[in-house]
Structure 1
């Protein structure tokens, strides 16, 4: 059945570009960009005291600005899996960084390529190996072209083009990705095809590095933030302790360079007459990392299900559809991208559980939609579940095909690349429901840690910093949310067993 579906999709992808080349383009172009570890507070438009992000600030001022945009997960690989599929990453065993997606998943790129879009991925992949033989490479998951890295990268990155051996690209990494994106756009435009481009920056993930002019913008920071933090050394690839002010100087330089590269892309779209009919999104993949977090205005950091771990910048530009600025407090998520694009292009959703919702009413500024109709769920699956299993479950993908090829600075068990894993899940039991998790619905948020820690309940509308635990004063609300969360977890675990892939 899987083979038949892939054959049909391949045939469609061969037919539709010919149609697109001979018919006037009516579908919007789509560019989805995401920063790496870029938290909500780290933009000028969200009130940061130091960071200079004039391009994102302009996008927020003229387009659709989400004040409450969430990464689906508090860490990167899981959010990326949700970004492409509209499904919670635990449904496909993408539990944490370094856990791959599964080949049976259906991505936005696969759906759009089959209605005539030319699709490309640039930058960080991190949901499987990028080499051509990988069954979960960008090419295998629907992208016609890719210049990608298995994980993150700094200046002068090593990137793999269409699955070939990585090569070094000299320069600032965000500029390199945008230059490649522009060349791809121009090629797609020459064929008359609409384009779908995913750009996943390597910035501002640690270890940090910046151009001299960008670093100079933040020369005052070392004197302002003297506490010591741990991060990766660019020299050794191992953990090192440094002054937070020095670290922030480099991190903010990366953010400013990324912002400038986005500006280069926007100028190109305008100069080529493409801006009006191109949907451009920017968001982060999780909250700010512990080395850079300043503790305000939200509680928590990357890796945690508090707001500081999951709230990220979120802006959309599309002048043809968003002619006037919109500022919304509607709670949106990276899981909403696939169902939203399906609605905008008039495509049916895949016939399997989808956790995201269609945001087109928000894009159209429909003020009757003020609350999310279904909850947002966050779940950091406890992967220690696998530590004591004997025998180990069967790998979902041949481990050789999960080996990364693109080098990076940070060492893991002495290795300067990233390999991936995914398992055929063992028989379900109560352990599978564990791990930090939360649910947000109608302004209330329930946070559950483990059996030894009391759950927490917050009213986010009144207490966005999550300071006042209402668990004792609102027991009925807490019980209601806990039951909803448990019911949803059962659905996710059913998917995890592979039930969604059965014909």
Structure 2
């Protein structure tokens, strides 16, 4: 909506997962054009919703159902993204390409399945789909080069959460390195994920930034980089412009998460500096046992990013302080408002 108001051509390709009503679908949320699926996941060939029944068909263009039976969805996404770039190469554009890969079902191309055939299951299936993702992203980046747009285009690559250990992913295949947890967990393996930003000649290349940042930060960041006004809006995130350009400290003194659990036992986390408190933790990676005494799980990430030892009993004052910050955050949250 904000880019469209600033005169940008706006396009959505890929996964949506934000609603099916007219005002919730992409064209009701500021996009000029859209191609993709509205639910959480689809089979990449039939384009049917890949979850519990009814397994409805889920492929849409500009709010209308379309069919492309048997055509490989990752290739369709790359084609649509390339077409968007070609059509809008002479104007300012914002393209939101929400890759459904490597989300299950793990359907990498034959080339990559053969390449990883000697790996154990499910690592080989997951690796094939990750490399398929890398390949189709490369196709679109090459189109930017071909159109001579690379130096004037900001590209952000962002994962949304840790790898899945669900049955639909054959129990795993991904790897969070030293971090405990995976998808659905508030341990670092579920929330600390790769992010890359590129803007040749403007943002330093080949630099790894250790400062804390969140996915919420990208919107105010790219608005600042594009010199667009954001004064009239409230943002959960903070601009990373000074971090990216000047290696400044993180703009976050603290951050809050809440995901999963139930009304009586919601799962939440709050981080302030190196201290992080998780309420009702779950470890979907099963890296270590959750004990009955771990209802509040406190870690110091400067001392250990593995989050294997609960420091709550040793530092009860820190637990109380972080709980108070969480309670204050809940009071600040406004109730949902109707979509504009």
| TM-score normalised by length of structure 1 | 0.58
Name the CA distance, whole Å, in 2 between partners of 1:497 and 1:156.
36
Paired residues for 1:81-480 under 5 Å: 110-129=1-20, 134-151=22-39, 152-156=41-45, 158=47, 159-168=59-68, 170-189=70-89, 192-222=90-120, 245=121, 247-290=122-165, 291-292=171-172, 293=174, 296-349=177-230, 351=232, 353-364=234-245, 366-367=246-247, 369-380=248-259, 382=261, 384-385=262-263, 434-449=265-280, 453-480=294-321
Name the CA distance, whole Å, in 2 between partners of 1:342 and 1:212.
40
The answer to whether the 8 Å contact 2:243/2:250 transfers is no
The answer for the alignment partner of 2:335 in structure 1 is: 496
Name the CA distance, whole Å, in 2 between partners of 1:284 and 1:295.
12
- SS of the aligned residue for 2:150 comes to coil
- SS of the aligned residue for 1:327 comes to coil
Is there any run of 5+ residues in structure 2 with no aligned partner, and where? 48-58, 166-170, 282-291
Q: CA deviation at 1:218?
A: 1.1
Is there any run of 5+ residues in structure 1 with no aligned partner, and where? 1-109, 223-244, 386-430
> In structure 2, do the counterparts of structure 1 residues 300 and 348 end up closer, same or farther at CA, with 3 Å as the change threshold?
same
Higher normalized helix content (fraction of residues)? 1
How big is each residue's C-alpha offset from its partner over 1:220-278, in whole Å with a ceiling of 9 and x where there is no partner?
A: 123xxxxxxxxxxxxxxxxxxxxxx1x33222211101101111111111121100111
- SS of the aligned residue for 1:326 comes to coil
| TM-score normalised by length of structure 2 | 0.85
Tell me which of the two structures has the higher relative contact order, counting C-alpha pairs closer than 8 angstroms and 6 or more residues apart.
1
How big is each residue's C-alpha offset from its partner over 1:390-419, in whole Å with a ceiling of 9 and x where there is no partner?
A: xxxxxxxxxxxxxxxxxxxxxxxxxxxxxx
> In structure 2, do the counterparts of structure 1 residues 501 and 283 end up closer, same or farther at CA, with 3 Å as the change threshold?
closer
How big is each residue's C-alpha offset from its partner over 1:25-51, in whole Å with a ceiling of 9 and x where there is no partner?
A: xxxxxxxxxxxxxxxxxxxxxxxxxxx
Q: CA deviation at 1:176?
A: 1.8
How big is each residue's C-alpha offset from its partner over 1:280-313, in whole Å with a ceiling of 9 and x where there is no partner?
A: 1111111111121557421112111111111211
The answer to whether the 8 Å contact 1:116/1:193 transfers is no
- SS of the aligned residue for 2:91 comes to coil
Name the CA distance, whole Å, in 2 between partners of 1:477 and 1:353.
29
Q: CA deviation at 1:141?
A: 0.4
The answer to whether the 8 Å contact 1:372/1:441 transfers is no
Name the CA distance, whole Å, in 2 between partners of 1:312 and 1:170.
32
Structure 1 vs Structure 2 CA RMSD: 2.3
Name the CA distance, whole Å, in 2 between partners of 1:157 and 1:167.
9
